[in-house]
Structure 1
Amino acid sequence: MTLPLPALPQFDGNEEDFPAWLAQFSSALQYAKVEKPEEKRNLLLMCISQRVVRTLISVCNQKNVATEVDFDELMLQLTLNYRTTPIQLAEYNRLFSLRQQPGQSAREFASQIGHVAGYCQFPIDLKRVQAIVFSMGFRDDNIRSQLIQKDYKSMEPALQLARQLESLGIETKRTSGNRPANSTELADVKRVGGTGATTTTSPQCYRCGRTNHTAANCRFKEEYCRNCDKKGHIAAVCRSTPNQQQQKQPPTQQRQQSSGKKRNNQQPHKSHQRSTP
């Protein structure tokens, strides 16, 4: 009993697609239980493009491939023309130069590596090589830096980590875009001695110039400046420019002289009023 044929795989002459097409075509023959050579030949001609048919006619000396060439001969010519023997050095270069392309998912990149690696012969384990290429070729710099920290025995663990990091990055971008940065995140965070510990520095105190406290908690907020005689800061951070007399005399004498001048200026005015008739 001949079963109805499924959708037939088409081969358009791309050499890279020939192994996959051949596997599909062989499966179709087995599924439909096609055994007669004529039926196999007819089915074969239905599964290849016109360009491939022209190639077969050419290599078969312009014979009518539908009636004059048997199925086995056609399959032999297809194999000789489209199944290439890879040059190992070129295949190595092709494999190790693979890089994830824009818009290509981690799963698609892993599948591409597996396809190209299938043409190579390695002195080391093939699964390990695929993991190395996947880690080194990953497009995202941050994810790649995480992947190359470990020598994976196969590509699957590296793929799982990459997908987790991709999901984490997407979630981080989504959440960080909906909240404002707090004061701690805006502070200047410095790494200490490479140990991973962090210290956060406060804004510089305008009263004394230090950064380990705020101006509201400064112990010099009741202090008088020796430079400008103003209350609330010390001379080391004073921004005022004192006159020459203030620079020569201490702030206490300056305040005494200032108050004495005011009393002296008032006395002559009062005596002048008493002497007037």
Structure 2
Amino acid sequence: MPDNKPKLEDAQVPAMAQSNLTIMQAVNFPEFVPSESTWQMWLERLEVYFTEVAITLDDSKKATLRKSVGSEAYCALHSLCSPELPTSKTYKELCVMVHTQYTPPTITFYERRQFHLARNLAEESVAAWFARVKKLALSCTFGQHLEVFVLDKFIVGMSNELFERCCEEDGSISLDAALRKALLYETKLASKACTMVNFVNKSHHTQVAKGKKRQPCSKCGWRNHSSQEWKYKDSTCHNCGKIGHLATVCKSTSL
């Protein structure tokens, strides 16, 4: 009799296909929104997604791109491909079209001017300043001199105190070493400032405590209030008979 039992490899194929399908559908990849992200940054994330779900075929990449690119970009892509359809283009061709549509041309010297004019803001940390310098340098086409320019701008654009400390270093310092030392200096300055604040607060509290040793009230002789704060201003002195003080502080000689 023929063996009607399914082979092990036949039974496993649908399960594996279903498993792969589940993985791909579970990943909620965000659409490309031109007002929220640059095309290059979005495309880099898409390539990471392809690696995560093991998409290598051009047709699969193209289908995922058309699905995830967003309605606005897809309409533009559809128009750019006309009279053909986006399905007739390769994945690389579609990427080039969207890149051309949503990536404005770089004006190199304008970008470099923005880079050279940048300064470390008062409320900006060393780490945030370093990241901003690196971002500003992206469109400056510095080529093999990129690290030199970034190092120069990172140090020269710092706040005065940090700049003076970095000037103590040799001119051959690397970018990574400059960042580490700047972060260290920043931490020391913050610690010093905190210590100074605590000292000032302590001095203030000490002065306040000393200020509590008031002169005796001229109306009654007590120290827990000033003469202006005395509540019994209508009291009559039993020594001189006058109103406004007590006999304990009376300066009359008739006692």
The match for 2:129 among 109, 112, 120 is 109
RMSD of Structure 2 on Structure 1 (CA): 3.3
Q: Which amino acid aligns with 1:28?
A: Y
Secondary structure, aligned partner of 2:69: coil
The verdict on how the C-alpha distance between 1:55 and 1:90 changes in structure 2, with shifts beyond 3 A counting, is: same
Unaligned runs of 5+ residues in structure 1 are 183-277
Q: Which amino acid aligns with 2:72?
A: R
Residue 164 (structure 2) aligns with: 145
Following the alignment from structure 1 to structure 2, what is the Cα–Cα distance between the partners of residues 30 and 123?
A: 28
Q: Point out which structure has higher relative CO (alpha carbons under 8 A, 6+ apart).
A: 2
Residue 108 (structure 2) aligns with: 88
Q: CA deviation at 1:38?
A: 4.7
Following the alignment from structure 1 to structure 2, what is the Cα–Cα distance between the partners of residues 52 and 148?
A: 49
Residue 225 (structure 2) aligns with: none
Contact kept in structure 2, 1:136 and 1:148, CA below 8 Å? no
Where in structure 2 are the equivalents of 1:122-133 lying within 5 Å?
122=142, 125-133=145-153
Residue 252 (structure 1) aligns with: none
Where in structure 2 are the equivalents of 1:7-22 lying within 5 Å?
7-13=28-34, 17-22=38-43
Alignment identity in percent?
18
Residue 23 (structure 1) aligns with: 44
Following the alignment from structure 2 to structure 1, what is the Cα–Cα distance between the partners of residues 162 and 62?
A: 51
Residue 60 (structure 2) aligns with: 39
Q: CA deviation at 1:153?
A: 4.0
The match for 1:77 among 82, 94, 97 is 97
Which structure: greater helix fraction?
Answer: 2
The verdict on how the C-alpha distance between 1:141 and 1:34 changes in structure 2, with shifts beyond 3 A counting, is: same
Q: Which amino acid aligns with 1:29?
A: F
Q: Does 1:53 align with 2:74?
A: yes
Contact kept in structure 2, 1:147 and 1:158, CA below 8 Å? yes
Contact kept in structure 2, 1:15 and 1:84, CA below 8 Å? no
**Rg (Cα) greater in structure:** 1
Moved more, 75-84 or 89-98: 75-84
Following the alignment from structure 2 to structure 1, what is the Cα–Cα distance between the partners of residues 68 and 122?
A: 33
Deviation per CA, 1:255-277: give whole Å up to 9, x if none: xxxxxxxxxxxxxxxxxxxxxxx
Residue 3 (structure 2) aligns with: none
Q: Which amino acid aligns with 1:168?
A: K
Q: CA deviation at 1:134?
A: 0.7
Alignment length (residue pairs)? 180
Unaligned runs of 5+ residues in structure 2 are 1-16, 204-255
The verdict on how the C-alpha distance between 1:58 and 1:148 changes in structure 2, with shifts beyond 3 A counting, is: farther
Runs (4+) of structure 1 moved beyond 6 Å? none
Q: Does 1:154 align with 2:171?
A: no
Deviation per CA, 1:89-121: give whole Å up to 9, x if none: 223212212223454332222122223323333
Q: TM-score, normalised by structure 2?
A: 0.57
Where in structure 2 are the equivalents of 1:240-251 lying within 5 Å?
none
Following the alignment from structure 1 to structure 2, what is the Cα–Cα distance between the partners of residues 81 and 122?
A: 25
Residue 186 (structure 2) aligns with: 166
Secondary structure, aligned partner of 1:34: coil
Q: CA deviation at 1:131?
A: 1.0
Contact kept in structure 2, 1:13 and 1:82, CA below 8 Å? yes
